[in-house]
Amino acid sequence: MSALLGIVFPVTFTGHGQLPAKLHSSRRRLVVKSSNSSSERQILFNRIAPVYDNLNDLLSLGQHRIWKNMAVSWSGARTGDKVLDLCCGSGDLAFLLSEKVGPSGKVMGLDFSSEQLAVAASRQKLRGRSCYKCIEWIEGDATDLPFDDCEFDAITMGYGLRNVVDRRRAMREMYRVLKPGCRVSILDFNKSNQSVTTFMQDWMIDNIVVPVATLYDLAKEYEYLKYSISEYLTGEELETLALEAGFSSARHYEISGGFMGIWSP
Ligand SMILES: C[S@@+](CC[C@H](N)C(=O)[O-])C[C@H]1O[C@@H](n2cnc3c(N)ncnc32)[C@H](O)[C@@H]1O
């Protein structure tokens, strides 16, 4: 779900702030394409957890790995840093971050899906390098972070913000827990102003993503992708959101077919 033929875009923000809501797991089978409550989305991501990684590789032809590497580079994470990966899912960006910060650093991977975190933890066990031991998985809500002010040297978020119901609050939380002068790097699908791009995105979701997901009995869950992009923010709107949250600057670039974003000082 995260990546599809280059139709993604990260945006990074700097700056240096506060806030709090709680979510509870539910076993209800409630997944709809216009899923627009946090608990519905939590259920959705729990359900897709067992196949999420395989589908990412399949649907992006492996390209999501390149984009995630870029997002981690843009975060500016360095050896020994304490960093946060929000909406970490099965942990791709957290693993990449741990390679940057090394065993002397610390990576916190936070997500509200216990099933995604279980996949992340089992992947961690299978990995031998010492740097992976510096990752801690935390079940929590991106809009109510269980961290102190100014705790992190860098924050990443891959394909997360689009799925967060209260994005304004999530952005303010990122601002609060980030140290002054440090950077947030956000990677996601682009909500384009170009009708051709939107048409291509919709076409690929309808004709490639959903049919493939149907093979895993996850059609409805992946139909949600189209909805989530349509109600996401454009690059300009994301920049405004970051500035309103207190960040000193924010820059969104489209890449990969014209749709990826990066912060510039
Ligand atoms: C598309 S997945 C991305 C996972 C991973 N970052 C990646 O790039 O592969 C989105 C993740 O965001 C999580 N998520 C959505 N809203 C959240 C929130 N409010 N708080 C914490 N996690 C959230 C979901 O549980 C899911 O694991």
Q: Residues 83, 86, 92, 93: is their CA dihedral positive or negative?
A: negative
Q: Examine the predicted complex and report whether its ipTM is higher than 0.85.
A: yes
- Location of structure tokens 């010492």: 130
The CA-based angle 99-132-155, given to 5 degrees, is 60
Q: How high is the mean pLDDT of the chain?
A: 84
Nearest Cα to 107, choosing from 153, 73, 140?
Answer: 153
pLDDT at 6 over 80: no
Which domains are delineated in the chain?
9-252 (3.40.50.150)
Mutate to test the pocket of ligand 1, among 54, 87, 95 (most ligand atoms within 8 A of CB): 87
Q: What is the pLDDT of residue 201?
A: 87
pLDDT at 106 over 80: yes
Mutate to test the pocket of ligand 1, among 38, 112, 119, 123 (most ligand atoms within 8 A of CB): 112
Amino acid at 186: I
Give the global pTM: 0.88
- Location of structure tokens 């409550």: 37
Residue 169 confidence class, pLDDT cut points 50, 70, 90 = very high
User: Which residue, judged by its Cα, is nearest atom 1 of ligand 1?
Assistant: 159
- Location of structure tokens 């000082």: 265
Tell me, in angstroms, the distance from the centre of ligand 1 to residue 177's CA.
Answer: 18
User: Which residue, judged by its Cα, is nearest atom 12 of ligand 1?
Assistant: 87
| CA max distance for the chain | 47
Tell me, in angstroms, the distance from the centre of ligand 1 to residue 46's CA.
Answer: 10
Establish how many alpha carbons lie within 13 A of residue 146's alpha carbon, considering only the half-sphere containing its beta carbon: 11
